Amino acid sequence: MKLIVGLGNPGLQYARTRHNVGFEAIDRLARRVVNPAASAGVGCARARFNGLTLEADIGDQRVLLLKPTTFMNRSGKSVAEAIGFFKMDAATDLLVIADDIDLPCGSLRIRGDGGAGGHNGLADILAALGSPQWSRCRIGIDKPGIIPQADYVLGRFTDDQAPQVDECIDQACLAVQVWCREGLAASMNQFNKKVTANAGEPPHNSN
């Protein structure tokens, strides 16, 4: 069993915000691996491990898709419960998808370890697991610029950012499937591509 976690905040008020790209990636992946022809409403539905889950197969690998519903800064509780229940080894069986303000929109970065980089969800998972040895897939959302960081990540993408992020979420879904089928190194080699940061004025909130 592999565990694929997308980070975000529950509730309609947080839908489509920058901080919720992990949730969006999981929902899109759920539609693709369960029924590619399904409507956009298909996603994680079963309540388990303080989150919403879906079990599916990617290739010959059984996976659990998980969206913690504990709010971002308590994500570790949900992840630790799922890992403990299935007796997984986080170093080989866990992949977490999260937003990253240090990467430009349209940029994807996959690593097998590392710190939280100021991300509260990743920090809580690090604390809960007691080790940085697990895979993470970061989706770039641009730097806040002059906007306070909390306001920025809880805001929605600008018209310029939205198509770049949408394509990046598609790439994240493909990267997860490669990670499951071929491993970390293969996913890094195929999807860690440099994207130039947006030039000009810092992005303004579209709320």
Question: Vertex 205, ends 203 and 207: CA angle to 5°?
Answer: 160
Positions marked catalytic: 19
User: What backbone torsions phi and psi does residue 167 show, to the nearest 5 degrees?
Assistant: -65, -35
- Say whether domain 2-191 belongs to CATH 3.90.1580.10: no
pLDDT for 99-119, tens place per residue?
999 999 989 999 999 999 999
User: What backbone torsions phi and psi does residue 100 show, to the nearest 5 degrees?
Assistant: -145, 115
Query: Any idea where the domains of the chain sit in the sequence?
Result: 2-191
Structure tokens at 106: 């349209």
pLDDT for 147-165, tens place per residue?
999 999 999 999 999 999 9
Instruction: Count helices and strands (H / E) in the chain.
Output: 7, 7
pLDDT for 67-99, tens place per residue?
999 999 999 999 999 999 999 999 999 999 999
User: What backbone torsions phi and psi does residue 113 show, to the nearest 5 degrees?
Assistant: -165, -175
- Global pTM reads 0.90
